[in-house]
C-alpha cells in the first residue's frame, strides 16, 4: 500500500510504538525534543505548560484531527544545497507588523478552542483567533505594512504587575536566509505554521536554544535569559528581544502534532563554517526573526509573561502571504542578496529597485 505524505514521517521512524502513539493520540511520556524523545513521538505542549496528547479532534485545517496537515502537493526530490554562493553580507527583508489585539487563543496549539490558552499578543492579521484557518486568514485585513502579508504572528503577552504591556508601532520581523547558500531559499508554502521555543523550557534551555540571539536586553544589559532586575528609566529605553525560527522544512507537512517536527534549524557542513539544511528537512525557507520591543523600564521585578518567566518566551507563525508577493520579495531580497525594507528596497543598492510600490503593493 502506498503511503501518503501525511503518514510518511511515521513510517520513516520505523517503530510500531511510535505509530501507535501517533495513530491513537495517547498520552506520551515526554513533551519536547529536549527530553531526548524523537520529535515525532513527543506530544504537543500546551501554552500553560501542561502535557497534552496529540489532538484527536477534527478542527480547522486538520480534517481528521490527527495533528498532521499535509502539504498539497508535497515538495520532494530536494537535495540540501552545500554550495558556496557569491559573497553577500545581507540577504533579508523586513515584514514590519503592528499589534492588533490580545486574546487567550492559539489556533495552532488549540484550534477551535476559544479561551484555552494563556493570553497572547497578536500581530499582523486582524482576525486571528482560535478558529483561524488558512482560508480565514488568507486575504484578510492586516496590520503589516504590506497588505499582501495576512500572516498571523503571536507571542505570550507581557505584564508589569497586572498591567498588560503591548509593543507600540510596527515591530521588526525579519525574513532572512538561514543557510549559507541564500540562493536556495524558496517562499513559505501557503498555510505553513509552527511554534518557536517552548513555554516549559528552563533558563539554560532557552539560552541553548538554536533560535536564541541576544536574549532579553535593555540599556547596557544584554544576553539575559530572564528579565533584567532593572532597566534605565529613560523614555528611549525599552525591553527588547530577538529570537530566530527554524528555516528548513520537510516538504511534507504544513503542521505536525508537536508543531515543530516538520521544521528544523540548519546544520553546519562538515569541515566548514557553512550552514545547510539537513537531509531530513531539505527545503530551505526564509528564517523568521522576531525583533520585539516593549515600552517598559525602571524596576522590572514585576515583569512577567503570560506563560511565566522570561525564559518561557516562544512565538507562533501562521503563513498567509499572497503567493506572488512573497515570492517576489524572497527572490529579490533573499535570493538576490540584498538588505531590504518592507517595500523590498535596499537603500545601499538603489539601482536594484524595489519590489513593492509606495502603497506596499506588488505592481
pLDDT value of position 35: 30
CA within 13 Å, CB half, 309:
14
pLDDT of 165 over the 80 cut: yes
- Structural contact between residues 206 and 212, judged by C-beta atoms closer than 8 angstroms: yes
C-alpha cell at 292: 520585539
What is the rounded average pLDDT of the residues 54-71? Answer: 79
Considering the domain boundaries, does residue 245 fall inside one? Answer: yes
Considering the domain boundaries, does residue 3 fall inside one? Answer: no
Work out whether the CA dihedral 244, 277, 9, 330 comes out positive or negative. Answer: positive
Considering the domain boundaries, does residue 53 fall inside one? Answer: no
pLDDT digits (tens, 9 = 90+) for 122-164: 999 999 999 999 999 999 999 999 999 999 999 999 999 999 9
Q: Helix H segments across 27-104?
A: none
Rounded alpha-carbon distances, angstroms, from residue 191 to 121, 134, 167, 243, 356: 20, 5, 26, 22, 23
Distance CA 54, CA 74 (A): 22
pLDDT digits (tens, 9 = 90+) for 78-118: 999 999 999 999 999 999 999 999 999 999 999 999 999 99
pLDDT value of position 175: 98
156 beta partners: 120
pLDDT of 325 over the 70 cut: yes
- Structural contact between residues 272 and 126, judged by C-beta atoms closer than 8 angstroms: no
pLDDT of 23 over the 90 cut: no
Chain-centroid distance of CA 157 in Å reads: 16
Considering the domain boundaries, does residue 10 fall inside one? Answer: no
In which band, very low, low, confident or very high, does the pLDDT at 52 lie, cut at 50, 70 and 90? very low
Distance CA 72, CA 284 (A): 18
Considering the domain boundaries, does residue 241 fall inside one? Answer: yes
Distance CA 320, CA 65 (A): 21
Considering the domain boundaries, does residue 175 fall inside one? Answer: yes
pLDDT digits (tens, 9 = 90+) for 113-132: 999 999 999 999 999 999 99
Considering the domain boundaries, does residue 22 fall inside one? Answer: no
Considering the domain boundaries, does residue 209 fall inside one? Answer: yes
What is the rounded average pLDDT of the residues 250-275? Answer: 97
Q: What is the DSSP letter of 66?
A: S
pLDDT value of position 63: 87
* Number of domain units in the chain: 1
What is the rounded average pLDDT of the residues 321-347? Answer: 98
pLDDT digits (tens, 9 = 90+) for 217-248: 999 999 999 999 999 999 999 999 999 999 99
Rounded alpha-carbon distances, angstroms, from residue 104 to 111, 154, 268: 12, 11, 38
- Structural contact between residues 346 and 319, judged by C-beta atoms closer than 8 angstroms: no
pTM of the entire predicted model: 0.85
The contacts of residue 309 (CB under 8 Å, 6+ apart) are: 203, 226, 227
In which band, very low, low, confident or very high, does the pLDDT at 31 lie, cut at 50, 70 and 90? very low
The contacts of residue 142 (CB under 8 Å, 6+ apart) are: 97, 124, 125, 126, 149, 150, 151
Helix (H, G, I), strand (E, B) or coil at 169: coil
pLDDT digits (tens, 9 = 90+) for 180-206: 999 999 999 999 999 999 999 999 999
In which band, very low, low, confident or very high, does the pLDDT at 342 lie, cut at 50, 70 and 90? very high
DSSP states along 84-117: -PPP-S--EEE--B-EEEEES--TTTSTT-TT-S
Distance CA 250, CA 76 (A): 9
pLDDT value of position 58: 64
In which band, very low, low, confident or very high, does the pLDDT at 60 lie, cut at 50, 70 and 90? confident
- Please state, for a pLDDT cut of 70, what percent of the chain lies above it: 84
pLDDT averaged over every residue in the chain: 87
- Structural contact between residues 52 and 43, judged by C-beta atoms closer than 8 angstroms: yes
Q: Which domain holds residue 218?
A: 76-352
In which band, very low, low, confident or very high, does the pLDDT at 57 lie, cut at 50, 70 and 90? low
Helix (H, G, I), strand (E, B) or coil at 60: coil
Amino acid at each position: 500500500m502506498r503511503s501518503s505524505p501525511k503518514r510518511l514521517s511515521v513510517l520513516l521512524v520505523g517503530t510500531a510504538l511510535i505509530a501507535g502513539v501517533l495513530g491513537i493520540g495517547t498520552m506520551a511520556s515526554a513533551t519536547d525534543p529536549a527530553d531526548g524523545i524523537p520529535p515525532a513521538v513527543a506530544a504537543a505542549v500546551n501554552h500553560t505548560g501542561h502535557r497534552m496528547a496529540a489532538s484527536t479532534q477534527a478542527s480547522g485545517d486538520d480534517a481528521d484531527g490527527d495533528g498532521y496537515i499535509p502539504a498539497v502537493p508535497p515538495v520532494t526530490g530536494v537535495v540540501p544545497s552545500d554550495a558556496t554562493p557569491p559573497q553577500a553580507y545581507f540577504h533579508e527583508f523586513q515584514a514590519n507588523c503592528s499589534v492588533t489585539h490580545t486574546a487567550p487563543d492559539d489556533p495552532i496549539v488549540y484550534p477551535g478552542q476559544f479561551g484555552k490558552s494563556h493570553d497572547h499578543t497578536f500581530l499582523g492579521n486582524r482576525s486571528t483567533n482560535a478558529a483561524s484557518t488558512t482560508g480565514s486568514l488568507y486575504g484578510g485585513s492586516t496590520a503589516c505594512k504590506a497588505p499582501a502579508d495576512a500572516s498571523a504572528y503571536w507571542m505570550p503577552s507581557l505584564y508589569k504587575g497586572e498591567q498588560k504591556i503591548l509593543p507600540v508601532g510596527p515591530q521588526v520581523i525579519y525574513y532572512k536566509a538561514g543557510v549559507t547558500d541564500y540562493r536556495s531559499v524558496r517562499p513559505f508554502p501557503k498555510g505553513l505554521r509552527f511554534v518557536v521555543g517552548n513555554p516549559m523550557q528552563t533558563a539554560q534551555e532557552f539560552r541553548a536554544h538554536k533560535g536564541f540571539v541576544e536574549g532579553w536586553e535593555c540599556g547596557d544589559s544584554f544576553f539575559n535569559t530572564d528579565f533584567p532586575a532593572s532597566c534605565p528609566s529613560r523614555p528611549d529605553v525599552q525591553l527588547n528581544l530577538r529570537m530566530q525560527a527554524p528555516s528548513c522544512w520537510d516538504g511534507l507537512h504544513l503542521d505536525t502534532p508537536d508543531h515543530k517536527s516538520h521544521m528544523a534549524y540548519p546544520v553546519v557542513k562538515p569541515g566548514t563554517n557553512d550552514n545547510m539544511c539537513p537531509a531530513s528537512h531539505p527545503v530551505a525557507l526564509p528564517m523568521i526573526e522576531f525583533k520585539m520591543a516593549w515600552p517598559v523600564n525602571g524596576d522590572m521585578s514585576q515583569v512577567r509573561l503570560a506563560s511565566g518567566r522570561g525564559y518561557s518566551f516562544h512565538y507562533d507563525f501562521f503563513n498567509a502571504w499572497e503567493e506572488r508577493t512573497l515570492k517576489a520579495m524572497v527572490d529579490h531580497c533573499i535570493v538576490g542578496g540584498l538588505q531590504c525594507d518592507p517595500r523590498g528596497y535596499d537603500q545601499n543598492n538603489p539601482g536594484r529597485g524595489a519590489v513593492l510600490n509606495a502603497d506596499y503593493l506588488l505592481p
